Amino acid sequence: MADYNLVVRGGTVVTASDAYRADVGIIGERIAAVGENLQGERSVDAGGLLVMPGGVDTHCHIAQLRPEGGTDEESFTTGSAAALLGGTTTAISFSTQFKGQPIRDTLNEYRELARASAIDYSFHQIISDPTDEVLAEIPGLVEAGIRSLKVFLTYDTVHLDDRQYLQVLSVARRTGALVTVHCENYDAIDWRARALLADGRTAPKYHAWSRPEIVEREATYRAIALAELVDQPIQIFHVSSAGVAKEIARAQARGVKVWAETCPQYLTLTAADMDRPGFEGAKYMCSPSPRDVQAQEGLWDTIRRGTIDVVSSDHSGFSYHGDLGKRSNGEDAPFTNIPNGLPGLATRLPLLFSEGVAKGRIDVTDFVRLVASQPARIFGLTRKGRIAPGADADILLWDPTRKVKITNDKLGHAIDHTPYEGMEVTGWAEAVFLRGQLAMQSGKVVAAPGSGKFLARDAYDLIKPTGRLADGFDAAAMAVGPSGKRLV
């Protein structure tokens, strides 16, 4: 008699700590057992494959709303398809807030867009204008399960100054939310960019010159120092070099709750990729900028040390052609007027496995920790990122020896190019199950748009404050808004 609805049989189960031969038994949407000789109503042969938790991508921009109306090119239909093709079953994307406007309107619109997702999803809430009224909205967001806030320390339309950043940290501490931070120094970048343009240096390669590592390193130190002052846990997004990671490691060593992620572009691309003929270098522009080969090796070292324990995609795709793409302001546009960001939902896992596991830089258990287990843990996705009884049956069957040449037509996203075109990788997703249902097999998405679920995140211990405060004074508890008034 069958004990399980489905058994994934004969593969090598990989967790964040172990790799061993076992069957996985599934009842309904959950994993019910991991063991030997399990009997199911149906079975899937995973012989020769790795059986891993579905990828958890905690930093991707999908259907992000634009100030002038509409969204970026990537929809939840195409974005979730790309995620499944790459082995990812859960993503956290961004609900934005425009300056001078409340959160609730854009959040409601974004929730409707996300209903088209074929993978499970949650949101970070971007805070670009922390007025008294906006700060007062945040407790309701957190109560509704949006338990992470995103702030930028750069970009004209969204950057916060130090006082505004402190306001967001304070309300996050009071409400039990995690704050995620894009760390680059806004004024330093603007100062250098103006000088470069005045000197006639306008090509895409000067994007990297406008934002060298030091502007990221300084902002990272500042973001951590202010978070430590408030006693508010944070995650630093898209760390580009070991120099930046050292600032994080120093804080971690003194007990600050700060986590770090990097992305495949910082492990595979360099600033030299932007120095290509004509406008071609625009395809490789993202922020922070990729550095050099030495920076790549430094990042691998910080991954092995555990300073960086998440690899996200930071998928933020802009087509090369089209009204919203890289060339939307013309091929003569200076680097300051070229949209920067790279597609990466489908290539995150193949690039990390190939460059990391296949080349001996990390173990396969490290791979699972970086792309699934630790992202789920940090962001309170308690049933994701694990092959264990009680977890959602999000299962990735992975061929560790399959060699594939990356081409854009394999990736499923809406973007008309990939910066990894022609790169050969070792390791590829063969099949994906989402909550026990087949969602992708042999390069074909079978999950229907709308089959994903919104994941409301409850309070969890990992992001509780440490209780260490300067002079023992909790300024955040006073709940004073930017106007000087006490917030309710």
Averaged pLDDT for residues 142-167: 97
User: In whole angstroms, what is the distance from residue 420 CA to residue 418 CA?
Assistant: 5
Amino acid 1: pLDDT: 65
Averaged pLDDT for residues 328-354: 97
User: In whole angstroms, what is the distance from residue 84 CA to residue 431 CA?
Assistant: 9
pLDDT in tens, 178-222: 999 999 999 999 999 999 999 999 999 999 999 999 999 999 999
Averaged pLDDT for residues 128-153: 97
Class of domain 54-375: alpha beta
User: Beta partners for 150?
Assistant: 126, 180
User: In whole angstroms, what is the distance from residue 135 CA to residue 171 CA?
Assistant: 7
**CA distance to 102, 108, 171, 204, 288, per residue, from 177 (Å):** 19, 20, 8, 37, 25
**Mean pLDDT taken over the chain:** 96
Task: Cis check for the bond before 288: say yes or no (omega within 30 of 0).
Answer: yes
pLDDT beyond 80 at 415: yes
pLDDT in tens, 214-223: 999 999 999 9
Question: Nearest 5°: CA angle at 85, between 83 and 89?
Answer: 45
Helices 242-253 and 293-305, packing angle to 10 deg: 20
Please, which pLDDT band fits residue 478 given cuts at 50, 70 and 90?
A: confident
Amino acid 254: pLDDT: 96
Helix (H, G, I), strand (E, B) or coil at 186: helix
Alpha carbon dihedral 373, 165, 221, 158, in 10-degree steps, equals: 80
pLDDT in tens, 384-401: 999 999 999 999 999 999
List of residues 6+ apart from 97 with CB closer than 8 A: 103, 106, 125, 126, 127, 128, 129, 134
Number of Cβ within a 10 Å radius of residue 140: 12
Kindly state the percentage of the chain with pLDDT values over 90.
Answer: 95
Sign of CA dihedral 69, 79, 343, 213: positive
Averaged pLDDT for residues 285-300: 97
pLDDT in tens, 74-111: 999 999 999 999 999 999 999 999 999 999 989 999 99
Sign of CA dihedral 356, 358, 359, 365: positive
pLDDT beyond 60 at 488: no
Instruction: Please report the DSSP string for 279-324 in residue order.
Output: TGGGGG--SSPP--HHHHHHHHHHHHHTS--EE---B----SSSTT
What pTM, to 2 d.p., does this model score? 0.97
User: In whole angstroms, what is the distance from residue 386 CA to residue 52 CA?
Assistant: 8
Averaged pLDDT for residues 8-21: 98
H/E stretch holding 222 reads: helix 213-230
Cβ atoms of 436 and 394 within 8 Å: the answer is no
Amino acid 68: pLDDT: 86
